[in-house]
Structure 1
């Protein structure tokens, strides 16, 4: 590429641009960008950027490998927050925490503050050119935050993403300099291309090894759907089915939502604890009790997350345990017949961060409470009866 519109590009013998669309660039140690107009860059022995100086202000990075632990400039400090997959999920800017809202491709599409209020919104084109669609913060957080498209680090002053080994220009859809020559076959003979020229299907965190984002996202979606199948099904009914019937019986063998709930109830840690306690109270043949049941203790019953999100705090739960006298072969466990009768109203209450935490509050209110208050979702009554064998 030697020209974009009426602006030209010229290169040195290593494929590094020295005149780039009206800008002057210098290089060192082969492929390291040393300066971009008046902006200066420095790197460690591993080639990872340790600082940049913009308009006389030096930004210094504290690193753990390639991961940024802290960025400081002037009187400002920015600390990235990471999830258990080492993906950036928020920042602490001058002691104020902010959290990211992402789409399935990993783009930062919004920023929420500690009050669970969205204070910044981003949009992107297919190649990652960012646009600030809104910023209501008092600290210009949309501009301060460097993490944007795919979670990449964005150098706003030059309009490019720093991807560890190279700089990516989203407005052109290419890296500004060539990839390593030993990767020529991997990059399909184009050493400047970004993600095989398929930005929607791939992601490139290090500037040289694109990964299939469709595969990564697909795995995440599949695991999410499997783990929260009941929650998704009941939510979908609130969006569609409840407009036709707001009182449903999930007991029938053919009901897919009912079958999901039956499976979750049989495997629920909370339900098993209740059954075990009732077995100890059987005086003759059976014991029955109707009570409030709360799946919302997510710390104690983490495996009941799907029931917590779909059933939550159920008003009416009747559990009847009957001893059959039968014994399971080759064990000391006896068989019991368990009958569960459960009913409630599917709706969303407004959460607050003091009781439910910031992230849970933001998700509940954004996906549940507000859509229901706007009429996008409809509340509905449901009930279910389920019998199964239990051994204890």
Structure 2
């Protein structure tokens, strides 16, 4: 189906440092299981995502369950997404209403600024534009079937539905281009 199911991150010595598994419900990422291998110990973090409603890509909450390598529960918490009018996460708060993440984006979905207040280490907020998962290793956004580059505002591969998606096979969204500017004519 073209979905990302897992990824490995290796340390400088080529050893496993992080293994992430992705669980999908149709085109919705519902769970991410991260196996951290540090200092000879393993910690598992399971992030379960809840959306505003079944047909929406707007995240509502993130439930985190942290266990040790033997499956013993260490921690459980619920964090809440605060999205703008088009469903893009702008802030995240914990269950006490304390701000734990804030992001500002440019027009193409790249970060102008991302802020994690003090004492919020370990916060994981992977969502960017609607249905886009931030891949920290590449800086690209995984968008279900292909990757989006927020620097160029384009996808890195052609649209899998071909010309049915439009004449520009790499565009993120149809839009108006800025008017042409002449550098030879003086401005009156």
What residue in structure 2 maps to residue 223 of structure 1?
Answer: none
Match of 1:172, SS state, is: coil
The alpha-carbon deviation at position 151 of structure 1 amounts to: 5.0
What's the C-alpha RMSD, in Å, of the aligned pairs? 1.9
- Conserved 8 A contact 2:132-2:144: no
2:21 alignment partner, one of 45, 60, 84: 60
State the secondary structure of the residue aligned to 2:95.
Answer: coil
Which whole-Å CA distance do the structure 2 matches of 1:161 and 1:197 have between them? 20
Q: 2: CA distance between counterparts of 1:191 and 1:71?
A: 30
1:82 matched to which residue of 2?
51
1:110–1:124 Cα change, 3 Å: same
How far residue 150 of structure 1 moved from its aligned partner, in angstroms, is: 2.9
Query: What does residue range 313-392 of structure 1 map to in structure 2 within 5 Å?
Result: none
Contact residue 159 and residue 165 of structure 2 kept, 8 A: no
2:101 is aligned with 1:123: no
d(CA) in 2 for partners of 1:151, 1:134: 22
Q: How far did residue 149 of structure 1 move?
A: 2.6
Rate the CA distance shift 1:186–1:149 in 2: closer, same or farther, 3 A: closer
1:137 to partner: Cα distance: 4.4
Shift of 1:67: 1.8
| Number of residue-to-residue matches in the alignment | 149
Match of 1:148 among 98, 109, 128: 128
1:4-23 aligned at under 5 Å gives the runs none
| Alignment match, 2:6 | 51
Q: Does 1:159 align with 2:130?
A: no
Residues 124 and 149 of structure 1 are in contact (CA less than 8 Å); yes or no, is this contact kept in structure 2? no
Q: Which structure 1 residue ranges, 5 or more long, are not aligned?
A: 1-45, 199-392
Q: Is 2:158 the partner of 1:178?
A: yes
Change (3 A) 1:48 1:168: same
Deviations along 1:190-220, one digit per CA (max 9) or x if unpaired, are 111111256xxxxxxxxxxxxxxxxxxxxxx
Instruction: Name the CA distance, whole Å, in 2 between partners of 1:169 and 1:52.
Output: 19
Contact 1:107 1:151 in 2 (8 A): no
Aligned to 1:193: 171
2:78, 2:118 → 1: CA distance? Answer: 15
Q: What is the CA–CA distance in structure 2 between the aligned matches of 1:179 and 1:110, rounded to whole Å? A: 31
User: 2:118 maps to what in 1?
Assistant: 136
**1:120 and 1:137 in contact (8 A); partners too:** no
Q: Please state how far the C-alpha of 1:114 moved relative to its aligned partner.
A: 0.6
SS in structure 1 at match of 2:130: helix
Shift, 1:69, TM fit = 2.2
Bigger proportion of residues as helix: 1
Moved over 3 A (4+): none
